[in-house]
Amino acid sequence: MTPHQGPIRPTVDLRDMLRQHIIARSLAHMDAAAERRRASLHSGDIAGYRAAIRQAVAGFYAAPPARGTTQPPPCGVEGRAIALPFGPGAAPVVAREVSRYDRSGYRLENVLFESFPGWEVNATVYAPLDYAPPFPAVIIPVGHSGKQFDSYQLPAQYFARAGYLAVTFDPPGQSGEKQTGNDHFVDGVRCYLVGQTSSRYFVGDALRCVDYVISRPDVDTRRGVAMTGVSGGGTTTTLATLLDERITVAGPSCCLTPLADLDITQCYAGCPETHMWRRYAEGVDELDLIAAACPTPVLLMAGAYDEVFHIEDTRRLADEAAAFYAAAGAGDRFRFFVDAAGHGYTLEQAREFTRFMDRWLRDAPGRALPEPADLALALDPVEMLRCAPRQDVNMRTLALARADELAAARAGSRTPAEIRAAAQALIHPEPARGLRPVSPQLPAYSFQLPASSFQLPASGFQLPASGFQVWTHDWQQVLLAVEPGIELPATLLLPREAGRAAAILHFDDAGRNRLLDRHGLLARAAGFPEREGRHAALFAVDLRGWGDSAPALYPYEMASWGGVDRYLAYATAALGDPLLAMRARDGLAALAYLRARPEIDPAHIAVAGCGLGGVVALLVAAADGQAAGLVTWDAPVSFHSLLRTARYSWPADAFLPNALLHCDLPELVAALPFPAAILNPRDGAGQPLPAAALDALNAGRASPVYRRADEGEIARALQEIVLA
């Protein structure tokens, strides 16, 4: 009987394997979050629950110190260490008026003031003309749009005509005045690398607007301020309310459904700013953002025909929020209003929120309000709203500046053991905090156990009884089961000569067999099919989400802001277990398996990879510390380079959260205790590095590690290292 040649049938659907793994882990965290809410109601410890959620949300905006640095001084309220520029710990607001226009019943004032250093808020103020100051104030964060559109102009005009001073401002990117370097999809993921969330810029501006209105003599803030917004502006409202108790009334609109519905099971990629590091792991569901605001008055609004946040999902969340407020003795402080509209902030919502503010902010319940139709509100020309904020300070430049600070803090002598520990920290998730542990038990790999003591589980792999001879090698297909629900297809070439073989362990983001096809460079590196000379074994593995397990497209990923890579990057960041880290652990499992094979010499295994597979290979080699060598090609030269490039070409999962708090890729290369060849390294745009950059990387080395190479030279480099 001819030995099996084709792939082994997996026990899972490979095209859906990774996604379902992420969904299952995410839902487990949401179940734990629901259990915490129920426990707080059962025990009556509402205050403890509220404090836990607020502490978790504050943690999203804490800037973790790098090695050799200290935590920045806290800003904010109640002494919480929040690395956002607002509140008593922040610098005084220095506002510069750009223009003003008197309109029917209100005055437009366009002003600029800083939130982060050099980062300007382009605020448009709607000041009442038919009321005497001081006015109560309402902040209107803009969603994924611009302040010139009807969901922001018309409600702000209505609030002013009803006696409230209203402030709108553009978010980063979107359709407003702050687009350069602020694309919240493209530039938002850059923040992950430096241990930050891009949400800091959305929420930070909203909180700085609170500082601004408090600084105005014509504003009455004795009872606090209100905040309301639609879509992303509603999300900003809920987060800001938990961070700043000066916000005493909140009105999020068209923005909330249980995470288990839209974000998790429906795989809506959303935005990086709503997928903060460890948000799922900390158990912060959308309902928690409302429940933890209790007893702050909240009017949750929704459109009956919202095509994004489906009304049945929002209604279910609202029912649970109402029950939570009632159980906490604050049932009259939560209301749910549904408008016969779609995804937008309507004048009906504006009037309803004005009634709500009248009760809780103005202490004037039942006050007569103007009918929106009687006011004949109309959009003001966009020219009347322009502030012309600075463009040279943006998400990208601030992330790059933070990366430069971190690089300077990391500079200096670190032992190889410290560098190895940094690599290990990058690829292992943090232990659970606050919730019962819900993540699957991760297997211990070879860097935790000596290779000689590694016990391969009997069910950990499948392979045929014998290989299929193809000239100089036996071909085998292997299926590695590295953790529940995750199976890795692999191709193993074993030399037919006697004795234990040296081996190449290879990872390729384009699939394990790409460079075997038609006598590709991996086949040549293994000595196939030449009879003369030495031969090496080759173990090419499809890490989760690559090759045969590349995820199938889901519906929301058809959107221009969607994409499989974005969903995977955002969701795994929220899990606190990034996809690149998962793949590195897969690589360590493959290395442990290869060492356990009796045909392989465990002391002569070189790790190799191309593209993002090269990054994984480096992480595996650095964390393990016992390989025979490393060869990568066409891989990013550094994480830092992803920030330097205005338009990068790498997928979103290349932005490994918190990476630059620990180390960068060249530091890992420099600390390797074995030979390495970094061939054709690429910059953030995917372009080969120029000769001068290669020379700088090789400075002080006895022989060059970073160099250019063609396919033949790559194959020879692999042979030289593995057969040395």
Of 246, 220, 217, the C-alpha closest to 88 is 246
Report CA-CA distances (Å) from 699 to 674, 684, 703, 704, 706: 18, 21, 9, 8, 10
Range of lowest pLDDT (408-412, 543-547, 580-584, 632-636):
408-412
Residue 208 in any domain: the answer is yes
Calculate the alpha carbon distances from 360 to 7, 167, 288, 298, 363 in Å.
66, 19, 22, 10, 6
Inter-residue contact 540 to 527 (CB < 8 Å): no
555 is a domain residue: yes
In a domain, 30, yes or no: no
Residue 435: the pLDDT is 60
pLDDT of residue 28: 97
Task: Say whether both 77 and 202 belong to one domain.
Answer: yes
Structure tokens at 655: 């932005």
Residue 249 belongs to domain spanning: 45-400
- Whether 396 and 451 share a structural domain: no
| pLDDT at position 434 | 56
309: amino acid identity, one letter: F
304-327: average pLDDT: 97
Same domain, 376 and 463: no
Residues 464 and 328 in one domain: no
Judge whether 439 lies within some domain. no
Co-location of 452 and 396 in the same domain = no
383 shares its domain with 474: no
- With 50 as the cut, is the pLDDT of residue 600 above it? yes
Kindly state the average pLDDT of the residues 141-170. Answer: 97
pLDDT greater than 80 at residue 430: no
What are the pLDDT digits (tens) for 470-507? 999 999 999 999 999 999 999 999 999 989 999 999 99
| pLDDT value at 200 more than 80 | yes
Contact 369, 162 (CB under 8 A): yes
Same domain, 229 and 362: yes
In sequence order, what are the residues at sequence separation of 6 or more whose Cβ sits closer than 8 angstroms to the Cβ of residue 271?
Answer: 144, 184, 185, 188, 198, 232, 561, 570
**pLDDT of 76 over the 60 cut:** no
Whether residues 393 and 542 share a domain: the answer is no
Residue 339, in any domain of the structure: yes
Quote the pLDDT of residue 433.
60
Which helix or strand (DSSP H or E) is residue 541 part of? strand 537-541
- Give the pLDDT confidence score for residue 459 in this predicted structure: 40
To the nearest whole number, what is the mean pLDDT of the chain? Answer: 92
The pairing of strands 137-141 and 225-230 is parallel
pLDDT of residue 447 exceeding 90, the answer is no
Note whether 371 and 495 are same-domain residues.
no
Residues 393 and 492 in one domain: no
Burial zone of 134 (CB within 10 Å; 0-12 exposed, 13-18 middle, 19+ buried): middle
pLDDT reading at 593 higher than 80:
yes
pTM tops 0.85, yes or no: yes
Mean pLDDT value of segment 580-587: 98
Residue 567 banded pLDDT, cuts 50, 70, 90: very high
Whether residue 414 lies inside any domain: the answer is no
Task: Say if 233 falls within a structural domain.
Answer: yes
Give backbone dihedrals phi and psi of 5, rounded to 5 degrees, phi first: -110, -30
DSSP code string of 371-431: -HHHHT--PPPGGGG-----SSSSHHHHHHHHHHHHHHHH-S---HHHHHHHHHHHHSPPP
Q: How confident is the model at residue 466 (pLDDT cuts 50, 70, 90)?
A: low
Q: Is residue 512 part of a domain?
A: yes
- pLDDT at site 174: 81
Domain count, the chain: 2
pLDDT > 60? residue 311: yes
Same domain, 395 and 451: no
User: What percent of the chain is predicted at pLDDT more than 70?
Assistant: 92
What is the CATH classification number for the domain harbouring 647? 3.40.50.1820
Q: Average pLDDT for residues 518-528, to the nearest whole number?
A: 96
Q: How far is CA 246 from CA 195, 208, 399, in A?
A: 27, 12, 29
Nearest to 526 by CA among 456, 608, 465: 608
Spatial CA neighbour of 487 closest among 549, 562, 412 = 549
Cα(637)–Cα(708) distance, rounded to whole angstroms?
Answer: 13
pLDDT at 2: 58
396, 471: one domain: no
Measured in degrees and rounded to the nearest 5, phi and psi for residue 523 equal -60, -40
